[in-house]
Protein backbone atom coordinates (compact mmCIF):
# COMPACT_ATOMS: atom_id res chain seq x y z
CA UNK A 1 0.00 0.00 0.00
CA UNK A 2 1.25 3.46 -0.81
CA UNK A 3 1.76 5.88 2.06
CA UNK A 4 -0.69 8.30 0.46
CA UNK A 5 -3.38 5.62 0.51
CA UNK A 6 -3.04 5.45 4.31
CA UNK A 7 -3.46 9.18 4.68
CA UNK A 8 -6.16 9.52 2.05
CA UNK A 9 -7.88 6.18 1.63
CA UNK A 10 -8.77 6.08 -2.05
CA UNK A 11 -12.40 6.63 -2.88
CA UNK A 12 -14.37 6.19 -6.07
CA UNK A 13 -14.46 9.45 -8.06
CA UNK A 14 -18.15 8.87 -8.79
CA UNK A 15 -19.93 7.24 -5.82
CA UNK A 16 -17.23 8.16 -3.24
CA UNK A 17 -17.18 4.65 -1.73
CA UNK A 18 -13.84 3.38 -0.49
CA UNK A 19 -11.86 1.57 -3.14
CA UNK A 20 -10.17 -1.70 -2.18
CA UNK A 21 -6.80 -0.35 -3.32
CA UNK A 22 -5.29 2.61 -5.12
CA UNK A 23 -4.70 2.78 -8.84
CA UNK A 24 -8.29 3.03 -10.10
CA UNK A 25 -10.43 6.14 -10.19
CA UNK A 26 -13.77 4.34 -9.99
CA UNK A 27 -15.17 1.26 -8.25
CA UNK A 28 -16.28 -1.73 -10.30
CA UNK A 29 -19.94 -0.73 -10.32
CA UNK A 30 -19.16 2.81 -11.46
CA UNK A 31 -16.70 1.57 -14.08
CA UNK A 32 -19.50 -0.57 -15.51
CA UNK A 33 -21.88 2.39 -15.29
CA UNK A 34 -19.42 4.54 -17.28
CA UNK A 35 -19.09 1.91 -20.00
CA UNK A 36 -22.88 1.79 -20.38
CA UNK A 37 -23.26 5.58 -20.36
CA UNK A 38 -24.23 6.96 -23.77
CA UNK A 39 -22.96 10.50 -24.52
CA UNK A 40 -25.67 13.13 -24.17
CA UNK A 41 -26.08 15.54 -27.07
CA UNK A 42 -27.85 18.88 -26.87
CA UNK A 43 -28.72 21.65 -29.30
CA UNK A 44 -27.78 25.08 -27.99
CA UNK A 45 -27.68 28.55 -29.50
CA UNK A 46 -24.39 29.60 -31.19
CA UNK A 47 -22.98 26.07 -30.88
CA UNK A 48 -22.45 23.69 -33.81
CA UNK A 49 -22.59 20.76 -31.40
CA UNK A 50 -22.64 19.99 -27.71
CA UNK A 51 -21.92 16.71 -25.98
CA UNK A 52 -21.62 15.61 -22.35
CA UNK A 53 -20.26 12.43 -20.82
CA UNK A 54 -23.22 11.93 -18.48
CA UNK A 55 -26.41 13.44 -17.05
CA UNK A 56 -26.11 15.87 -14.15
CA UNK A 57 -27.59 13.30 -11.77
CA UNK A 58 -26.12 11.07 -9.08
CA UNK A 59 -23.46 9.82 -8.92
CA UNK A 60 -22.08 12.33 -11.46
CA UNK A 61 -23.64 15.31 -9.72
CA UNK A 62 -21.99 14.59 -6.35
CA UNK A 63 -18.69 13.96 -8.09
CA UNK A 64 -18.74 17.29 -9.91
CA UNK A 65 -19.70 19.06 -6.66
CA UNK A 66 -16.65 17.57 -4.90
CA UNK A 67 -14.52 18.61 -7.89
CA UNK A 68 -15.79 22.20 -7.81
CA UNK A 69 -16.22 22.82 -4.11
CA UNK A 70 -14.60 19.93 -2.23
CA UNK A 71 -10.98 20.38 -3.28
CA UNK A 72 -10.94 17.24 -5.48
CA UNK A 73 -8.95 18.95 -8.25
CA UNK A 74 -7.37 15.65 -9.33
CA UNK A 75 -10.77 14.58 -10.70
CA UNK A 76 -9.67 16.58 -13.78
CA UNK A 77 -7.60 13.52 -14.80
CA UNK A 78 -10.40 10.93 -14.97
CA UNK A 79 -12.83 13.59 -16.26
CA UNK A 80 -10.45 14.36 -19.15
CA UNK A 81 -10.12 10.63 -19.92
CA UNK A 82 -13.89 10.24 -20.19
CA UNK A 83 -14.40 13.56 -21.94
CA UNK A 84 -11.73 13.07 -24.59
CA UNK A 85 -13.18 9.65 -25.51
CA UNK A 86 -16.61 11.26 -25.82
CA UNK A 87 -15.22 14.18 -27.88
CA UNK A 88 -13.37 11.84 -30.26
CA UNK A 89 -16.53 9.88 -31.01
CA UNK A 90 -19.00 12.79 -31.18
CA UNK A 91 -17.01 15.89 -32.17
CA UNK A 92 -13.94 14.45 -33.91
CA UNK A 93 -12.66 16.79 -36.61
CA UNK A 94 -14.94 19.64 -35.54
CA UNK A 95 -12.26 21.80 -33.90
CA UNK A 96 -8.66 23.02 -34.20
CA UNK A 97 -8.08 24.32 -30.69
CA UNK A 98 -9.35 23.79 -27.18
CA UNK A 99 -10.46 26.47 -24.72
CA UNK A 100 -12.61 26.64 -21.60
CA UNK A 101 -15.30 28.68 -19.87
CA UNK A 102 -13.25 30.49 -17.20
CA UNK A 103 -14.23 31.52 -13.69
CA UNK A 104 -13.45 35.08 -12.58
CA UNK A 105 -9.98 35.81 -11.19
CA UNK A 106 -11.39 36.36 -7.68
CA UNK A 107 -13.24 33.04 -7.72
CA UNK A 108 -10.17 31.26 -9.06
CA UNK A 109 -8.00 32.77 -6.30
CA UNK A 110 -10.42 31.76 -3.57
CA UNK A 111 -10.85 28.20 -4.81
CA UNK A 112 -7.22 27.82 -5.82
CA UNK A 113 -8.09 26.66 -9.32
CA UNK A 114 -10.19 27.35 -12.39
CA UNK A 115 -11.97 24.02 -12.63
CA UNK A 116 -12.90 23.99 -16.32
CA UNK A 117 -9.33 24.97 -17.22
CA UNK A 118 -7.94 21.95 -15.32
CA UNK A 119 -10.13 19.63 -17.39
CA UNK A 120 -9.33 21.49 -20.63
CA UNK A 121 -5.55 21.24 -20.02
CA UNK A 122 -5.75 17.47 -19.66
CA UNK A 123 -8.30 16.99 -22.45
CA UNK A 124 -6.20 19.04 -24.91
CA UNK A 125 -3.20 16.77 -24.19
CA UNK A 126 -5.26 13.64 -24.80
CA UNK A 127 -6.76 15.12 -27.99
CA UNK A 128 -3.36 16.39 -29.16
CA UNK A 129 -4.85 19.84 -29.82
CA UNK A 130 -3.49 23.23 -28.71
CA UNK A 131 -4.98 24.77 -25.57
CA UNK A 132 -5.62 28.50 -26.02
CA UNK A 133 -7.04 30.91 -23.46
CA UNK A 134 -9.71 32.70 -25.47
CA UNK A 135 -11.94 34.17 -22.75
CA UNK A 136 -11.69 36.15 -19.57
CA UNK A 137 -14.49 36.51 -17.06
CA UNK A 138 -14.66 40.20 -16.24
CA UNK A 139 -16.52 39.90 -12.97
CA UNK A 140 -18.01 37.30 -10.73
CA UNK A 141 -21.73 37.01 -11.32
CA UNK A 142 -24.23 35.35 -8.94
CA UNK A 143 -24.25 31.55 -9.28
CA UNK A 144 -26.41 30.34 -12.16
CA UNK A 145 -27.79 27.60 -9.91
CA UNK A 146 -29.57 30.22 -7.78
CA UNK A 147 -31.58 31.51 -10.75
CA UNK A 148 -34.78 29.87 -11.82
CA UNK A 149 -35.77 30.98 -15.32
CA UNK A 150 -33.76 30.72 -18.56
CA UNK A 151 -34.25 34.49 -19.02
CA UNK A 152 -32.71 35.21 -15.60
CA UNK A 153 -29.77 32.91 -16.34
CA UNK A 154 -29.19 34.47 -19.75
CA UNK A 155 -29.31 37.98 -18.33
CA UNK A 156 -26.94 36.95 -15.53
CA UNK A 157 -24.16 35.91 -17.94
CA UNK A 158 -24.63 38.50 -20.68
CA UNK A 159 -21.53 40.66 -20.96
CA UNK A 160 -19.46 38.90 -18.28
CA UNK A 161 -17.00 37.28 -20.72
CA UNK A 162 -14.47 39.04 -22.90
CA UNK A 163 -12.36 37.69 -25.73
CA UNK A 164 -8.61 37.50 -25.01
CA UNK A 165 -6.23 38.10 -27.94
CA UNK A 166 -8.81 37.26 -30.65
CA UNK A 167 -6.06 37.19 -33.29
CA UNK A 168 -5.00 33.81 -31.86
CA UNK A 169 -8.34 32.19 -32.65
CA UNK A 170 -9.86 34.27 -35.47
CA UNK A 171 -11.01 32.02 -38.31
CA UNK A 172 -10.51 28.91 -36.16
CA UNK A 173 -12.95 26.21 -35.09
CA UNK A 174 -13.04 26.09 -31.30
CA UNK A 175 -13.84 23.36 -28.77
CA UNK A 176 -15.16 24.96 -25.57
CA UNK A 177 -14.91 22.87 -22.40
CA UNK A 178 -16.92 23.34 -19.22
CA UNK A 179 -17.47 21.08 -16.23
CA UNK A 180 -21.27 21.24 -16.12
CA UNK A 181 -23.80 22.62 -18.59
CA UNK A 182 -27.23 23.23 -17.09
CA UNK A 183 -29.50 25.60 -19.04
CA UNK A 184 -26.61 26.26 -21.40
CA UNK A 185 -26.74 30.03 -20.87
CA UNK A 186 -23.06 30.22 -19.86
CA UNK A 187 -21.64 28.25 -22.80
CA UNK A 188 -24.01 30.00 -25.22
CA UNK A 189 -22.70 33.36 -24.02
CA UNK A 190 -19.09 32.14 -24.30
CA UNK A 191 -19.78 30.93 -27.87
CA UNK A 192 -21.47 34.23 -28.76
CA UNK A 193 -18.41 36.19 -27.58
CA UNK A 194 -16.02 33.85 -29.45
CA UNK A 195 -18.00 34.12 -32.69
CA UNK A 196 -18.29 37.90 -32.36
CA UNK A 197 -14.50 38.03 -31.92
CA UNK A 198 -13.97 36.10 -35.16
CA UNK A 199 -14.06 32.37 -34.35
CA UNK A 200 -15.22 30.29 -37.34
CA UNK A 201 -17.36 27.97 -35.20
CA UNK A 202 -17.73 26.66 -31.65
CA UNK A 203 -18.57 23.20 -30.33
CA UNK A 204 -18.84 22.38 -26.65
CA UNK A 205 -18.17 19.41 -24.37
CA UNK A 206 -18.83 18.99 -20.66
CA UNK A 207 -18.54 16.28 -18.06
CA UNK A 208 -22.20 16.50 -17.11
CA UNK A 209 -25.32 18.17 -18.42
CA UNK A 210 -28.96 18.60 -17.58
CA UNK A 211 -30.95 16.51 -20.05
ZN1 LIG B 1 -18.23 4.02 -7.44
pLDDT at 5: 55
Q: Are 95 and 55 in contact (CB under 8 A)?
A: no
Confidence of residue 111 (pLDDT cuts 50, 70, 90): confident
pLDDT above 60 for 13: yes
43 shares a domain with 31: no
95 and 115 together in one domain: yes
pLDDT beyond 60 at 2: no
pLDDT computed for residue 35 by the predictor: 94
User: Which of 77, 83, 75, 79 is closest to 16 using CA atoms?
Assistant: 75
- Would you say residue 147 has pLDDT above 90? no
* Domain, as residue range, for 168: 38-209
Taking the centre of ligand 1 as the mean of its atom positions, its distance from the CA of residue 16, in whole angstroms, is: 6
- Same structural domain for residues 96 and 184? yes
Q: Report strand pairing: 173-181 vs 201-209.
A: parallel
Q: Which of 130, 137, 211 is nearest to 174 (CA)?
A: 130
32 alpha carbon – ligand 1 mean position (Å): 9
Query: Does 46 lie in the same domain as 2?
Result: no
The larger pLDDT score, comparing residue 103 to residue 76, is at 76
Whether residue 199 is found in the same domain as residue 111: yes
Q: How confident is the model at residue 80 (pLDDT cuts 50, 70, 90)?
A: very high
Cα(79) to centroid of ligand 1, in Å? 14
Confidence of residue 182 (pLDDT cuts 50, 70, 90): very high
- Cα-to-centroid distance, 206 and ligand 1 (Å): 20
Mean predicted confidence (pLDDT) in 158-187: 95
How many structural domains does the chain have?
Answer: 2
Q: Report whether pLDDT(177) > 80.
A: yes
CATH classification at residue 149: 3.40.50.2020
Start-to-end CA span in the chain (Å): 40
Shared-domain flag, residues 20 and 91: no
Averaged confidence pLDDT in the chain: 91
Q: How far is the CA of 18 from the centre of ligand 1 (A)?
A: 8
Angle at 182 between CA 111 and CA 50, to 5 degrees: 105
pLDDT computed for residue 152 by the predictor: 87
Report the alpha-carbon distance of residue 173 to residue 189 in Å, rounded: 16
User: Would you say residue 157 has pLDDT above 90?
Assistant: no
- In this structure, the answer to whether residues 10 and 44 fall within a common structural domain is no
Amino acid sequence: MRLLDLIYPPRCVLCHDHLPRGGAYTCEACSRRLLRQEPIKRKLRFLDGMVAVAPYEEPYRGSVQRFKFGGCAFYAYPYADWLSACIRSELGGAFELVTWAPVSASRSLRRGYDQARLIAVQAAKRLDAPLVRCLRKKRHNPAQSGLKTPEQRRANVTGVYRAVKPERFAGKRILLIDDVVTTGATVEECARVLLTAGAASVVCASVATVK
